[in-house]
Amino acid sequence: MQTPDIELRAVEIASLGERFSTLRLCEAPALASVRHSLEQYGQLTALTLFAPKTGLEIIDGFKRVRAARALGWPTLLARVDDLSPVDAKLRLCALHDRRGLTELEEAWLVRSLLRDDLLSQPDIARRMGRHRSWVWRRLMLVEALDPVVQVDVRLGLIAPRAAVAVSRLPRGNQQAAGAIVVRRGLTVRQTELLVDELFARTDPKERQALLALRLDGPAPAKTPGPRPTRAARNEADWM
């Protein structure tokens, strides 16, 4: 990877490309927080860009750019790194080494390097400073997870860690499980318990019946006055 240029300059945000946005999550609460920060304190951190033949592309700073556009700002400060598209993706990973990408974002990045840039799994592992088994696990995660569930994650309807739990299920059960997570507003822990409960059903028909019950079953009826009940022992009981 080449030494990045550290000079900052003002760039027109309207023309910035976002081809790498498919590798990142941009959840509404985080975007609102960035917008509030821009309004209160101005821009505190420069964007990181690179310049392929098609024009300036964002490596890091998607939420800042989207928040600035919403505020009507014409420009932001940025550093432009002299990088190839592959090295730009590796730079994205390095920039978030401490803050950390989610497992799903790491998986999207690995898949992009493999499918779009035609790097081998050993080469990806070497360039990212990871073991080959780590690369394989991330690739299996994104390949196993239903695209509809991945869209729900991008929309902020399902937490990334909840999606990782759903990926353990057979593909045929994932959309229904994802719909339950969204409709019931399940936490990550509740999603993990749901997946465990589904795995306990070895018969596919029983598993489908449980999914249908959790998805479409009526809420428990409320009766007037107190009645004796067994105390919920865990989140599965509560659910």
pLDDT digits (tens, 9 = 90+) for 73-102: 999 999 999 999 999 999 999 998 767 899
Please give the full DSSP string across 110-134, using - where no structure is assigned: HHHHHHTS---HHHHHHHHT--HHH
Query: Is 164 in the same domain as 124?
Result: no
Which pLDDT belongs to residue 60?
96
Query: Is 137 in the same domain as 152?
Result: no
Which pLDDT belongs to residue 4?
46
Closest CA to 110 of 52, 49, 23, 171: 23
Whether residue 239 lies inside any domain: the answer is no
Query: Is 79 in the same domain as 32?
Result: yes
Q: State the chain's mean pLDDT as an integer.
A: 89
pTM of the model: 0.84
- Give the CATH number, domain containing residue 10: 3.90.1530.10
User: Which residue, of 83, 114, 135, is where some domain finishes?
Assistant: 83
Domain enclosing residue 137, as ranges: 102-144
For residue 150, count other CB atoms closer than 10 A to its CB: 20
Which pLDDT belongs to residue 97?
79
